[in-house]
Structure 1
Amino acid sequence: MKNLTLLAGRQWPAEQGHSSILAAATQVNIIENGRCQRCGAFVSAKLPNGKLYCRACIGIGRAVEGNVLVRYLGHAEFPKQKNGGLTWSGHLTSQQEKISAGLVTNFLEKKNSLVHAVTGAGKTEMLFQLIAECMKNGQRACIATPRIDVVNELYPRFKAAFSEIKIGKYHGREFKEPDLDQLTICTTHQLLKFYQAFDLLVIDEVDSFPYVGDPQLHFGAKNAVKTSGVRVYLTATPTADLLEEVKQKKLRLLKLNRRFHGGLLPVPKEKFFLRPFLQKERLHSKLLSEIIKAVESGHPLLLFVPRIEQIPVYLAALRKEHRLQKAQVAGVYAADKQRLEKVAAFREQRLQILVTTTILERGVTFPHVWVIVVAADDAIYTTASLVQIAGRVGRAQHDPTGLVVYCYHQYTKNIKLAVRQIREMNR
């Protein structure tokens, strides 16, 4: 690599290359005292030669006992711009403006923030002034999120809003050489490749899998921020540990109970089923009725199922139904090689029904979408995920309502709490 400054704020195992920079970089044993210095995991797995290696972060290159982790803390300089490179000409509502101003104040005062805002509140737009404040001082920022789909959705929006800023996009499905981007948009896994790089780190959908409950990803996020840096967490469904940090005054809470268009959250319709949702490749008549209602209304439909192996079964049943013969249907899941293409086709309404797992429960916006959750009583659906799924509906200003259906055999605590939480936010 000719320009070594491109690696500023990054860390990597020495055997991955860039040997010309070693003399100018900090080097530590990648496994020290039985702990991986890249992800913080305690290491017990051994290679055939007896050396320890870290299984927790093996997806971004193997960390082996005796090898060196290189950290290049070279200074990254960016031009100072009066308006922070913000070229967005839109306007915030008065409620959004309060959150935006609070984020800027907290950043200037070096205080970490938790933004608790309902789905569809316009969290992305509320970040613009905060990012601009960081950019105009010649500082460096990162927006990280657990899901690839969310990265792909955020990137073009920030690219349009900050057309004068160099923005990098990084995730595991799309290889990109390291670059010195003033604004980085990436998955939370990618944060393991950074060390004290950012003055500002925003983690969107902080309660989402796989970030939530993963100590390695939390370790990586902490390491990616400078010691003088500021963190911002965004969520519609904050976890107990974040709320505890608010109580302890480690985080400043900024709360918004209304969507950007002022509309209410759609309250889910609860539908009890005595017989199976699908039997002998035929959909239950009540379920089929709801699906047909969505398709005939002209609304694209997200049909959530609990398991990947159920997707082809439901697709086959949908394609057999005479009244759905003209509907274009597809299924998608996390490891689907055509995942990005299918999501794009659904967004462009080239697909009328998309059968999906919880991979699309949050962080993505589809115009006019309606939602049906099959087996909402399945253990895979937490209260937070049910709230997030319902939040896909009614996000457009000119279409602020819509259908959300929870189908179940047993009325669970999670269904009850999800509906209660939505009603409370509406109040």
Structure 2
Amino acid sequence: MKKLSDYAGRQWPADVLDNSIKGQVVAIPAVQDGICQRCGSRASEKLPSGQLYCRGCVGIGRLDAGQLLVRCPAQSGFPKSENGGLVWQGHLQPRQEEVSKALLAAYKERRDILVHAVTGAGKTEMIFPLLAAALAEGGRVCLATPRIDVVNELYPRLSAAFAVTIGKYHGREEKEAANEQLVLATTHQLLKFYQAFDLLIIDEVDSFPYAGSPQLHFAAKNAVKETGCRVFLTATPTSDLLAEVKKGNLAIVRLNRRFHGGLLPVPRLDFYVRPFLRGGRLHPKLARQIVKAVKAGHPLLVFVPRIAEIPAYLAAVKAIKDLGPVRLAGVHAQDPDRLEKVEAFRKGELDLLLTTTILERGVTFKHVWVIIIAADDAIYPPASLVQIAGRVGRDKDDQTGLVLFCYHKYTRAMREAIRQIKEMNGK
């Protein structure tokens, strides 16, 4: 049986309180005055018994008005150390160093701060000194992100950089609760914590499902100790965060260059084609561009708007006469082999990967080029287009590359994405 200390800083639903832990935990009604105490939603749905329950966080286990929400207090602290277990031997560039110093200053004052940095700026490395400072003080730290893929990509990087206990939590892997000093998790997992962390860093705060979710914003606030603070990382800040900056409630630091000093790739707009696909065949102009990209030796990400379209586009790419032997696959959020396919593409075992927006951000592939089919589709807001373009040119030895918008009509979102990219490049 696990020790109660493994659940430090956590909360969970219970029908009755276990007598063996009375006095060691706090138990409150799961629903108070009609409000769910785990996610802040109004519990308005009824069970057959007539009890109200919360639909806002039902995905991680139902809470109803007849239950308790049990909270295990966080421990006072971990042992202090000289450098927080940091074993990373890399160095920050001068611009990155400035951002890192701003983060350390904000943490010293326990002030929330927003980092607005272009894609490929090296945000992960920039937070290493901050992580080290918090961990050295004996603090508990969480790095949260909306996407499972990003959690899986960051975990080996953090494990290599820090010699401390690290926990990885997301919905695709079963893991028992443990009181790790450094936690890496999806933002949904924050619903399971209560006043657990001295420092919470949320990456890709503009990304679904965190962006626009009152429940996850509530969870992010509850997961931090009253004496703790938060850091928000993004390349495309949301209007609510910028409003908090304007009010003086949130500090901000900006970085408009990639870690290698290069500019963001500006998407090509010379690909007005109609239709993209007909009779199982790609538009000849689009097919020629795919052939050109693959034969140039660059791994190619091809984005399509919807999961249902992937099989048809896979078949159409395979049918391109001049393409020759090509290793390709399609991937999407419900794909049971999603993680394996992404890793195969990263390792160079696939030449072309058809994908939805699950790979629009937070993942890095060396030398990749990008084609967006139907860039004018409503599923692509400006932030999404900027993030997809940001997959290209991230290597210091390969700072440019193809970003191609294929479209039927030139949309406001496309225009805004181009504007944002050029604005950051011009600063």
Using structure 2 for the length normalisation, give the TM-score. 0.98
**Residues 188 and 221 of structure 1 are in contact (CA less than 8 Å); yes or no, is this contact kept in structure 2?**
yes
The aligned residue for residue 326 of structure 1 is 325
Matches within 5 A, 1:86-105: 86-105=86-105
**Does structure 1 retain, via aligned residues, the 8 Å contact 2:16–2:68?**
no
Shift of 1:18: 6.6
Q: Does the aligned pair in 1 maintain the 2:74–2:196 contact within 8 Å?
A: no
Aligned pairs for 1:139-178 within 5 A = 139-162=139-162, 164-178=163-177
Matching residue of 1:183: 182
CA shift at 1:22, angstroms?
Answer: 3.8
Tell me what 2:134 maps to: 134
| Distance in 2 (alpha carbons) for counterparts of 1:376 and 1:236 | 19
Looking at structure 1, the residues matched to 16 and 136 of structure 2 have their Cα atoms a distance apart, in angstroms, of 34
Once the two structures are superposed, what CA deviation does each residue of 1:104-127 show, in whole Å capped at 9, x if it has no partner? 010001111100000000000000
Report the CA distance between 1:280 and its aligned residue: 0.3
8 A contact 1:8–1:76 mirrored in 2: no
Distance 1:322 1:256, change over 3 A: same
**Partner residue of 2:255?**
256
1:158–1:16 Cα change, 3 Å: farther
Deviations 1:342-369 (A, max 9, x none): 1001101111111111111001001111
CA positional deviation for 1:23 = 3.3
Deviation at 1:291, TM superposition (A): 0.8
Residue 77 (structure 2) pairs with residue 77 (structure 1): yes
Distance 1:341 1:373, change over 3 A: same
Q: Which whole-Å CA distance do the structure 2 matches of 1:320 and 1:262 have between them? A: 40
Q: Tell me how far apart the structure 2 counterparts of residues 323 and 20 of structure 1 sit (CA, whole Å).
A: 70
Question: 2:273·2:283 contact (CA, 8 Å) conserved in 1?
Answer: no
Partner of 1:392: 391
Alignment of 1:280-319 (within 5 A): 280-319=279-318
Distance 1:19 1:168, change over 3 A: farther
1:327, CA displacement in angstroms? 0.7
Secondary structure at the aligned position of 2:288 is classed as helix
**Structure 2: distance between partners of 1:142 and 1:330:** 34
One-letter identity of the residue aligned with 2:204: E
Partner-residue secondary structure (3-state), 2:322 = helix
Q: Do the aligned residues in 2 keep the contact of 1:206 with 1:235 (CA within 8 Å)?
A: yes
Residues of 2 paired with 1:56 and 1:291: CA distance? 43
Q: Look up the match of 2:115.
A: 115
Closer/same/farther in 2, CA of residues 18 and 168 from structure 1, 3 Å limit: farther
Distance 1:7 1:325, change over 3 A: same
| Structure 1 residues 187 and 369, CA gap change in structure 2 (3 angstroms) | same
Q: Distance in 1 between matches of 2:17 and 2:151?
A: 27
SS of 1:312's partner is helix
In 1, the alpha carbon distance for the partners of 2:335 and 2:270 equals 30
Q: Provide the alpha-carbon RMSD of the alignment.
A: 1.3
SS in 1 for 2:46: coil
Larger mean CA deviation between 264-273 and 111-120 belongs to 264-273
CA contact (8 A) 1:121 1:260 kept: yes
Residue 21 of structure 1: how far off its partner (Å): 2.4
Query: Is 56-65 or 110-119 further displaced after alignment?
Result: 56-65
2: CA distance, partners of 1:358 / 1:274: 21
Shift of 1:275: 2.0
Q: Provide the C-alpha distance between the structure 2 equivalents of 1:18 and 1:159, rounded to a whole number of angstroms.
A: 36
**8 Å Cα contact 2:17-2:27 kept in structure 1:** no
Distance 1:15 1:289 in 2: 62
Deviation track 1:369-398 (CA, whole Å, cap 9, x = no partner) reads 100000110001000000000000000111
Change (3 A) 1:143 1:17: farther
The code of the aligned residue for 2:356 comes to: T
CA deviations over 1:110-152 (Å, ceiling 9, x no partner): 1111000000000000000000000000011100000000001
C-alpha distance in structure 2 between counterparts of 1:42 and 1:257, whole Å: 40
Of the structure 1 ranges 199-208 and 2-11, higher mean CA displacement relative to structure 2 is found in 2-11
- Contact 2:271-2:404 within 8 A present in 1 as well: no
Q: Please identify, of 329-338 and 127-136, the stretch whose mean Cα deviation from structure 2 is larger.
A: 329-338
Q: 1:97 to 1:63 in 2, by over 3 A?
A: same
Point out where structure 2 has 5 or more consecutive residues left out of the alignment: none
Change (3 A) 1:99 1:18: farther
For 1:404 and 1:392, the matched residues in 2 are separated by 9
Whole-Å Cα distance in 2 between the matches of residues 273 and 97 of structure 1? Answer: 42
Structure 1: which 5+ runs fail to align?
none
One-letter amino acid of the counterpart of residue 93, structure 2: T
SS in 2 for 1:322: coil
Q: Map of 1:185-264 to 2, 5 A cutoff?
A: 185-264=184-263
